C-alpha cells in the first residue's frame, strides 16, 4: 500500500493495523546522521518510508510542522544526573501527541490538495489527543474536525484547549453523557458505511502508521547523542510511543533496552512480566492519558514478536477478544523490555522528590516513567520520556509538591479566550445530524 493511502485509511482493509513491509537498516548512515538537527533527522527518516510524496515537499511539510514548537531543539534533552529527560512537550498543546499530529494534519492537507479530496475527521477524547488533533488540522483546507467529549467530565483546562481554537473548521461537541457514550456514538456512526463514505469520514487515532513514524525520530535523535546504546523509559497507555522505539531498534539503531512504565492500569506491565495478556477493569489515576486497558498498538508488537506471521497475530487477538485473555506460551515476551507498574502514591512521591532534589517539575505521566526507571536501574543513565508539560495537570502536580508551581503562559491565556462549543445529547442521530449540517462535501 502506498504511504499516502496508509495515512488516509488508518487501518488495513481486514481491520488490522498497518506495518511497513520492512524496516530499512540504517547502521551505515548513523555517523552522518549525528551531525543533523532534529528536523533534518526527521526528514531523513520520513524519506525512508514515504514512497509517494516528493522528497522536497515532504521536507517542507516536516520543517513547517516542527516550526510550531517553542524550543530551537524541538525535543531538548535535560540532564538531571542519574537520568536524562527528553522533553517532548514543546508543541502547541504541550504533550508529545503534537510531535505526530502536527505532521499528520499537514500530511492530510497535502494529500487532499493533490487528490481534490475532502475529509471530515471525527474523534472522541477524554484527554490529550483531542486538543492535539484539533491543533494539527485547524485552519487546514478541505478538512473539518468534529471532536466529541463528555460534557463536564474532562478537566477544564483540557476542554479549553479545544474550545478556544477559533478556526471555523473545528467543531467541539460536548456530549451530555460519559466518555463511553461518546465512543459508542462514534463507533455507530463509523459503522454506517454509507454515511462514512458519503461524508468522507476519517479518524486520527493512535493506530495511524504516520503517527508512529513521526515518533521514531526522537528515539534516533537521543540514541545518537549517547556514547553507549541507551535505555529508554517510556510511560505507556496504547503502546504507541514505545512501539516507535522498538521500530527504531529494528532499523539497527543501537538501543540497550526499554523500560515500559504503566500506572495501575497494568495490562501491558503484566504481559511483559508473564506473557499473559489479560484485560482488567479501568482505574482512574493521576496519569489519565494512560488509563487504558486495551493497548491499540499492541498488535504491532505481536507482529514483530511473531516474526511477521500475521496469522499468529490474528489468532492471539481472536483469543483475547473471545476470552479477555491470551497467552504467548513460549519464552519471554521481549528481552529488550523491562516492565513496571507504578501506583498513584509512588507517582506523587516521585513528582515531589524530583522537585525537591532538582527544582524540576514533572507531570504525572513522566513521573510514572521516572519511578519505573528508579526501580530498574542498572547503573546506566537512562533517557526518560517527558510526555507532557506539568501545567496540563496542575491539581495533581501542585498537590504532590505542596504548593502552586505548575504554570504555562499558553494555558494561562486560555481562561480569558472566547469559547465555541455545541452541547448535544448522547444520541447518535443528534451527532450525525450535526455532522451532516457542517461537513465539508
Ligand X SMILES: *Cc1c(COP(=O)(O)O)cnc(C)c1O
Task: Please give the residue ranges that form the binding site for ligand X (CB under 6 A).
Answer: 95, 97, 128, 206, 235-241, 289-290, 365, 387-388
Nearer to ligand X, 142 or 241 (CB): 241
What's the min distance (Å) between Cβ of 234 and ligand X?
7
Catalytic residue among 84, 97, 392, 403: 97
Cell of 217: 525520530
Nearer to ligand X, 179 or 199 (CB): 179
Cell of 247: 521500530
What's the min distance (Å) between Cβ of 127 and ligand X?
6
Q: Are 198 and 189 in contact (CB under 8 A)?
A: no
Nearer to ligand X, 58 or 290 (CB): 290
Nearer to ligand X, 66 or 301 (CB): 301
What's the min distance (Å) between Cβ of 228 and ligand X?
25
CA 32 to chain centre: 29
The Cα 374–Cα 351 span in angstroms is 13
Nearer to ligand X, 58 or 248 (CB): 248
What's the min distance (Å) between Cβ of 179 and ligand X?
15
What's the min distance (Å) between Cβ of 294 and ligand X?
11
How many Cβ atoms sit within 10 Å of the Cβ of residue 363?
28
DSSP state of 229: P
Nearer to ligand X, 110 or 232 (CB): 232
Using the structure block, give the residue that is written with the C-alpha cell 500500500.
Answer: 1
- Please say whether the dihedral angle defined by the alpha carbons of residues 347, 348, 350 and 351, taken in this order, is positive or negative: positive
153 classed as catalytic? no
Give the CA-trace dihedral at 75, 80, 84, 89, to 10 degrees.
Answer: -30
Q: Which residues pair with 87 in a beta bridge?
A: 386
Instruction: Give φ, ψ of 170 to 5 degrees.
Output: -110, 125
**Helix orientation angle between 97-115 and 55-66, rounded to the nearest 10 degrees:** 140
Instruction: Report in angstroms the alpha-carbon separations of 62 from 5, 66, 137.
Output: 18, 6, 14
Contacts of 415 (CB under 8 A, 6+ apart): 160
Query: Ramachandran region of residue 329, left (φ > 0), alpha (ψ -120 to 50) or beta?
Result: left
The Cα 146–Cα 12 span in angstroms is 23
Instruction: Report in angstroms the alpha-carbon separations of 124 from 55, 128, 145, 149, 294.
Output: 33, 11, 11, 6, 16
What's the min distance (Å) between Cβ of 95 and ligand X?
4
Nearer to ligand X, 163 or 262 (CB): 262
Q: What angle do CA 333, 363, 397 make, to 5 degrees?
A: 135
What's the min distance (Å) between Cβ of 440 and ligand X?
28
Q: Which residues pair with 171 in a beta bridge?
A: 146
Cell of 299: 498488535
Nearer to ligand X, 171 or 239 (CB): 239
The Cα 12–Cα 253 span in angstroms is 28
What's the min distance (Å) between Cβ of 130 and ligand X?
11
The Cα 423–Cα 413 span in angstroms is 24
| Residues involved in catalysis | 97
Amino acid at each position: 500500500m502506498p504511504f499516502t493511502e496508509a495515512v488516509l485509511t488508518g487501518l488495513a482493509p481486514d481491520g488490522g493495523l498497518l506495518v511497513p513491509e520492512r524496516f530499512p537498516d540504517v547502521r551505515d548512515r548513523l555517523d552522518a546522521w549525528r551531525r543533523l538537527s532534529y528536523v533534518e533527522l526527521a526528514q531523513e527518516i520520513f524519506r525512508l518510508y514515504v514512497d509517494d510524496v516528493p522528497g522536497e515537499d515532504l521536507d517542507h511539510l516536516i520543517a513547517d510542522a516542527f516550526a510550531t514548537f517553542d524550543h530551537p531543539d524541538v525535543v531538548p534533552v535535560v540532564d538531571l544526573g542519574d537520568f536524562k529527560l527528553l522533553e517532548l512537550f514543546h508543541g502547541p498543546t504541550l504533550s508529545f501527541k503534537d510531535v505526530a499530529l502536527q505532521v499528520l494534519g499537514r500530511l492530510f492537507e497535502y494529500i487532499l490538495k493533490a487528490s481534490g479530496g475532502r475529509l471530515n475527521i471525527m474523534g472522541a477524547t477524554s484527554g490529550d489527543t483531542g486538543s492535539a488533533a484539533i491543533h494539527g488540522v485547524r485552519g487546514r483546507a478541505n478538512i473539518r474536525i468534529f471532536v466529541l467529549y463528555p460534557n463536564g467530565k474532562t478537566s477544564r483546562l483540557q476542554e479549553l484547549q479545544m474550545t478556544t481554537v477559533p478556526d471555523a473548521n473545528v467543531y467541539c461537541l460536548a456530549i451530555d453523557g460519559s466518555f463511553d457514550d461518546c465512543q459508542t456514538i462514534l463507533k455507530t456512526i463509523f459503522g454506517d458505511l454509507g454515511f462514512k463514505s458519503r461524508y468522507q469520514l476519517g479518524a486520527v487515532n493512535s493506530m495511524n502508521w504516520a503517527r508512529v513514524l513521526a515518533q521514531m525520530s526522537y528515539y534516533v535523535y537521543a540514541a545518537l547523542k549517547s556514547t553507549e546504546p541507551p535505555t529508554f523509559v517510556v510511560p505507556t497507555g496504547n503502546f504507541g510511543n514505545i512501539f516507535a522505539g522498538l521500530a527504531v531498534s529494528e532499523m539497527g539503531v543501537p538501543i540497550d533496552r526499554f523500560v515500559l512504565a504503566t500506572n495501575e492500569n497494568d495490562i501491558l506491565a503484566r504481559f511483559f512480566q508473564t506473557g499473559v495478556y489479560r484485560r482488567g477493569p479501568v482505574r482512574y489515576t493521576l496519569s489519565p492519558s494512560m488509563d487504558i486497558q486495551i493497548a491499540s498498538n499492541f498488535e504491532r508488537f505481536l507482529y514483530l514478536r511473531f516474526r511477521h506471521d500475521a496469522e499468529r497475530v490474528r489468532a492471539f487477538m481472536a483469543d483475547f477478544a473471545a476470552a479477555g485473555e491470551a497467552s504467548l506460551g513460549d519464552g519471554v515476551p521481549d528481552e529488550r523490555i523491562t516492565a513496571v507498574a507504578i501506583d498513584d502514591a509512588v507517582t506523587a512521591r516521585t513528582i515531589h522528590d524530583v522537585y525537591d532534589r532538582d527544582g524540576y517539575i514533572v507531570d504525572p505521566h513522566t513521573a510514572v516513567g521516572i519511578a519505573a526507571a528508579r526501580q530498574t536501574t542498572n547503573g546506566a543513565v537512562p533517557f526518560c520520556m517527558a510526555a507532557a508539560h506539568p501545567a496540563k495537570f496542575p491539581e495533581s502536580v501542585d498537590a504532590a509538591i505542596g504548593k502552586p508551581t505548575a504554570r504555562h503562559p499558553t494555558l494561562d491565556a486560555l481562561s480569558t479566550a472566547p469559547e465555541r462549543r455545541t452541547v448535544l445529547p448522547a444520541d447518535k442521530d443528534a451527532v450525525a445530524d450535526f455532522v451532516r449540517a457542517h461537513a465539508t462535501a
